[in-house]
Structure 1
Amino acid sequence: MKFSAPLVSGRLVKRYKRFLADVILDDDGSEVTAHCANPGSMLGLKEPGSKVWLSLSDNPKRKLKFSWEVIEADGALVGINTSHPNKLVEEALEDGRIDALTGFKTLRREVKYGKNSRIDLLLEAEDGSKTYVEVKNVHLMRKPGLAEFPDSVTARGAKHLAELADMVAEGHKAAMVFLVQRPDCDRLNLAADIDPAYAAAFEAASNAGVEAYAIGCDVRLDGIDAVKPVKIEI
């Protein structure tokens, strides 16, 4: 995935109200408010003074022209925009980078399923068999090399796991793909101390036959690509 234009650098003043971030731009020292497309806590990724990069929209109808894309943390570039993971995983699947999820004929996005939900990606094989793929963004790292999910309580995430288990019960294949938007992690585990209910839901889904995979990203200032397998230690 390539950014449509060069990113603008600055220093983070604060992230607040979940979806807003104030940033002092490097080029002229002005302070702007950027959209933060991330509903999580962003634990460890919102330290004031951190180096950040923003994308600039040319859409005249947008209230906030800037969007927060990348932060420098723990010596690495970390992607924080949670609107990108589905596209990144889609690209990885189409390029065959997740070995267990290959051989599909078609890929569709945001398909209705379950109890008034939409699956992120639906893979359909030549024989008509289906694989339901739910994508979760990951960028929490509290121990070197170990990515963790979630970074805040996610009742919605637990609901998705139960619905994936329902698809398996109906005879389909279902998989959770954790997209690690940072290059410095080679392992992934659940942050059960942050959300024990999600950890319990994951265990139940796994026992029901829901598969889980994780893939890490190469994060650059010109784009982000999901390129390397991450070992799940759950």
Structure 2
Amino acid sequence: MKTQFKKATLIKRYKRFLGDVILEDGTETTLHVANTGAMTGCAEPGDTIWYSTSDNPKRKYPYSWELTQSQYTDHFICVNTIKANQLAEQAILDGTISELQDYETITREVKYGHENSKIDLLLTGGGNNDVYVEVKSVTLLERNNGYFPDTITTRGQKHLRELIAMAATGKRAVLLFAVLHTGINNFAAAAHIDKDYADLLHEAMTQGVEVLVYKAAISPSNIQLAQKINFP
């Protein structure tokens, strides 16, 4: 995924969806943050951030925070969680995710399940069993390990229950963790943050839910899922 990002220096992130930055010309401004998580280690004052610009005149904040470049490690982190689904779809189409090939159609945001959910990607056709793919963005790095989630997630628990239910009907149910942090080379469920999620993930795997972990190559000019990480 080719990008055209510009850089700024982070002052602070606040109110979940806002961040104050200093642009390269010295101007201070506010940008939008498409991330509901804690963003632990991804939003330290003084970090270099990379942003995109929208030409939508209805937007209050035309700038969107896309990447963080850590001032301590120089790692790149994609903090825009919307990108995870786009990167997953791209990686399926270009053949990177070998486990999800030979399907004719990819449909986004399909309603399904018993808890008012939408599956991120539904793969159909090609004479294969339908695949329900839930995508999660991984950006938390602690003790040389990547973790999900970075905060307690009742929504994530709901998605696991929905995947378990789909697997029980004979459909393929896949949980795809998109690692969007260049410093993460290993992955585990964050039982120390959300034990209920970690326990439910283990149950999901025993009930037939497939778990895939793919890491992105990230730079200010290009982002793409490129490398499989074994799990567990």
Match of 1:136 in 2: 136
Q: Is the 8 A contact 2:103 2:128 kept in 1?
A: no
**Aligned counterparts of 2:106 and 2:57: Cα–Cα separation in 1:** 33
**Aligned counterparts of 1:172 and 1:206: Cα–Cα separation in 2:** 14
Is 1:40 equivalent to 2:34 in the alignment?
no
- The letter of the residue matching 2:181 is R
- Say which is worse superposed, 208-217 or 121-130, in terms of deviation: 121-130
1:166-185 matches, cutoff 5 A: 166-185=165-184
1:223-234 matches, cutoff 5 A: 223-233=222-232
TM-score (structure 1 length as normaliser): 0.94
Aligned partner of residue 84 in structure 1, secondary structure: helix
Q: Is the 8 A contact 2:23 2:29 kept in 1?
A: yes
Match of 1:15 in 2: 13
- The letter of the residue matching 1:175 is V
Q: How much has 1:100 moved relative to structure 2?
A: 1.7
Q: Is the 8 A contact 1:185 1:230 kept in 2?
A: no
**Aligned counterparts of 1:212 and 1:128: Cα–Cα separation in 2:** 19
Q: How much has 1:104 moved relative to structure 2?
A: 1.4
Where in structure 1 are there 5+ consecutive unaligned residues? none
Match of 1:24 in 2: 22
Q: Is the 8 A contact 1:186 1:229 kept in 2?
A: no
1:1-234 matches, cutoff 5 A: 1-3=1-3, 6-26=4-24, 28-73=25-70, 74-115=73-114, 116-127=116-127, 129-144=129-144, 146-233=145-232
**Aligned counterparts of 1:226 and 1:35: Cα–Cα separation in 2:** 24
Aligned partner of residue 82 in structure 2, secondary structure: coil
* 1:151-189, Cα deviation, whole Å (9 max, x unpaired): 011100010011001001111010000001122322110
Q: How much has 1:127 moved relative to structure 2?
A: 2.3
Q: How much has 1:223 moved relative to structure 2?
A: 2.5
Q: Is the 8 A contact 1:104 1:123 kept in 2?
A: yes
**Aligned counterparts of 2:65 and 2:138: Cα–Cα separation in 1:** 16
- The letter of the residue matching 1:46 is A
Q: Is the 8 A contact 1:2 1:222 kept in 2?
A: yes
Aligned partner of residue 216 in structure 2, secondary structure: strand
- The letter of the residue matching 1:225 is Q
- The letter of the residue matching 1:89 is A
Deviating beyond 6 angstroms after TM superposition, the runs of 4 or more aligned structure 1 residues are none
Q: Is the 8 A contact 2:131 2:174 kept in 1?
A: yes
- The letter of the residue matching 1:32 is T
Aligned partner of residue 232 in structure 1, secondary structure: coil
Q: How much has 1:128 moved relative to structure 2?
A: 5.3
The count of aligned residue pairs is 229
* 1:78-129, Cα deviation, whole Å (9 max, x unpaired): 1100111101000101112122222212111111110221100011132252
**Aligned counterparts of 2:158 and 2:181: Cα–Cα separation in 1:** 26
Where in structure 2 are there 5+ consecutive unaligned residues? none
